[in-house]
Amino acid sequence: MVMPMLVVLARRMAQIGLVERAAGAGLQVALRPGQRLVSLQGDLWRWDGFRAGAEDAPSAAAARLQQLNRLTALKRDLEEVAARAEGAAQAHAALQSRLAELAQAAGWVYASHHTGQSATPALLWAYRALQGGW
C-alpha cells in the first residue's frame, strides 16, 4: 500500500520544477499540462497560466487575525440569535397559555349549551377571556 502511494507522489513531484523567482514567468509558457514551477520564496506558476505570487498569500498572522475577527462576529451573531430565540419561546408560551384559556372558555360555553344550563356565566367568562381580562 505504501509503495503505490510513493509512486504517485514521485510522479507528482516530477511535474514540479524549482526556479529562481525572476525566471518563473518566462518559463511558464513552456510548461506542459500538469506541470508547475515554484520559487523558494513561494511563487507558483502553472501550465494553465495561473500564477500565485508569494506576496499574494496572507501571512500566518494576518490569516489568524482574520479568523479571530470572523469568530468574534459569529459569537455576536449567536448571541443575537439566542436572544431572538428566547423572545420567541416566551411569546410562544404566552400564546399557548392564551389558547388554553380560550379553549377552556369555549368548552364551558359548549358544556352549558348542551347541559341545558344557563349559558350566561360561561358566555361572560368567554367574553372576558377574549378581551384579555383573564
Per-residue pLDDT reduced to its tens digit, 20-32: 999 999 999 999 9
Residues with Cβ < 8 Å from 105, sequence gap 6 or more?
Answer: 122, 125, 126, 129, 130
pLDDT at position 80 over 80 = yes
Predicted structure pTM score: 0.43
Per-residue pLDDT reduced to its tens digit, 81-93: 999 999 999 999 9
Residues pairing with 51 in the sheet? 45
Distances (CA, A) of 73 to 12, 36, 77, 86, 125: 40, 38, 6, 20, 51
Calpha distance 112→118 (Å, rounded): 6
